[in-house]
Amino acid sequence: MSFNVAILGASGYTGAELVRLIATHPALRIAALSADRKAGQAMGDVFPHLRHLALPPLCTIDAIDFAGIDLVFCALPHGLSQALVRDLPRQVKVVDLGADFRLRDAAAYEKWYGAPHVAMALQAEAVYGLTEFYRDAIAGARLVAGTGCNAATVQFALRPLIAAGVIDLDNIICDLKNGLSGAGRSLKENMLFAERSEDVAGYSQGGKHRHLAEFDQEFSALAGRKVEIVFTPHLVPVNRGILASCYVKGDAQAIHETLLSRYADEPFIVVLPFGQLPAMSHVQGSNFCHIGVVADRISGRALVVSTLDNLNKGSSGQALQNANLMLGLDETTGLMLAPVFP
């Protein structure tokens, strides 16, 4: 059985990553690729690493006939999916990779994204796309909202710990190191090679990063009380990868056992032996997330480090994993590609 999919916003990195993954997926067929500003161009001209593939040319969204499409991946800039998805035929399933449907609360959305949500009715049926924690709802959903890439990385480390009550909820500090593909292909002076190579610097400091909205929503729901974490991302000169160093108070052994137990049956989440830390280069190019736990010399403190590929497990791989579920396929289909190292 084969399904037709469309990718909206195919000229960005997450769009290209979807194409890369689907290229060896046995049950999906790319029926349409949209990129409004590059409509008419071949995908292989915009992304020459894909030039060996037979792909439909880039087109405007308006030019797509959604009648024959089973599922749409929306890889559009934040804010553009709401109206668009609202107007799609109801039989088309949707995986949104942006932020438009992540927040269940309209006020929170407006606070963090600076404009009112225009499709709250649709939001009500959207399922938060962290597969390992919303699997059943995703399988039955019409609309799935992909998580933020940082949000995914940290939640894999902390959700089981918050749920199990093994860490102090008022002292969670997450320091992230972020690869640069996360900034996308748009032009920003501070994303030039000469600016970022040989540099490390924090950004969105002090609690300004929008992924905090997801942490607030998810962790508070999980804990049954308000939970706020300290979260500072840092740009590091690598292409792909997020490594989250989470400093928590709790018993390190209990933390490790909680994670081991929770993820024992998960195909993509690997918990390392106690005392070992994961490295960004161990997951790049793949849908895997590696997690390690270390006890600090100070009693009652632990370090939990998780890492994943922001374009893959943090975005397009997650999206494909969810699409598999929504289409009744095995969740891992097309996603068992091993990481690329070195």
To its own copies, the closest distance from the beta carbon of 25 in angstroms equals 11
Number of residues in contact with its own copies, rule: CB under 8 A? Answer: 84
Nearest CB to its own copies, comparing residues 116 and 275? 275
Figure out which of the listed residues 15, 146, 285, 314 binds its own copies, where binding follows CB under 8 A.
Answer: 285
Q: Which of 136, 182, 139, 132 is nearest to 155 (CA)?
A: 132
* Stretch near its own copies under the rule CB under 8 A, chosen from 92-100, 116-124, 143-151, 184-192: 184-192
To its own copies, the closest distance from the beta carbon of 287 in angstroms equals 10
To its own copies, the closest distance from the beta carbon of 266 in angstroms equals 11
Nearest CB to its own copies, comparing residues 122 and 319? 319
Active-site residue identified among 59, 74, 149, 246:
149
To its own copies, the closest distance from the beta carbon of 225 in angstroms equals 15
| Cα–Cα dist 222/155, whole Å | 11
Q: Does residue 34 contact residue 64 with C-beta atoms inside 8 Å?
A: yes
To its own copies, the closest distance from the beta carbon of 56 in angstroms equals 16
Figure out which of the listed residues 194, 224, 225, 264 binds its own copies, where binding follows CB under 8 A.
Answer: 194
Nearest CB to its own copies, comparing residues 114 and 207? 207
Q: How far apart are the first and last CA of the chain?
A: 36
245 binds its own copies (CB under 8 A): yes
The residue written with tokens 């290209």 in the block is 16
* Alpha-carbon distance values, 144 to 3, 87, 99 (Å): 17, 16, 11
Q: Does residue 17 contact residue 315 with C-beta atoms inside 8 Å?
A: yes
| Cα–Cα dist 248/243, whole Å | 16
Nearest CB to its own copies, comparing residues 67 and 338? 338
Interactions with its own copies, residue window 23-42 (CB under 8 A):
23-24
Sign of the Cα pseudo-torsion (228, 311, 323, 245, in order): negative
Figure out which of the listed residues 149, 243, 255, 326 binds its own copies, where binding follows CB under 8 A.
Answer: 243
Cβ-count burial 17-56 (b if 16+ within 10 Å, e if not): bbbbbbeebeebebbbbbbbebbeebbeebbeebeeeebb
Nearest CB to its own copies, comparing residues 181 and 258? 181
Interactions with its own copies, residue window 87-106 (CB under 8 A):
none
- Pairing mode, if any, of strands 173-178 and 127-128? unpaired
DSSP type of residue 310: T
* Stretch near its own copies under the rule CB under 8 A, chosen from 84-92, 149-157, 275-283, 314-322: 275-283
Interactions with its own copies, residue window 39-68 (CB under 8 A):
47-53
Nearest CB to its own copies, comparing residues 143 and 212? 212
- 59 labelled catalytic: no
Per-residue DSSP letters for 215-233?
A: HHHHHHHHHTS----EEEE
Task: Answer whether the bond into residue 267 is a cis peptide, omega within 30°.
Answer: no
Query: What amino acid positions are annotated as catalytic residues?
Result: 149
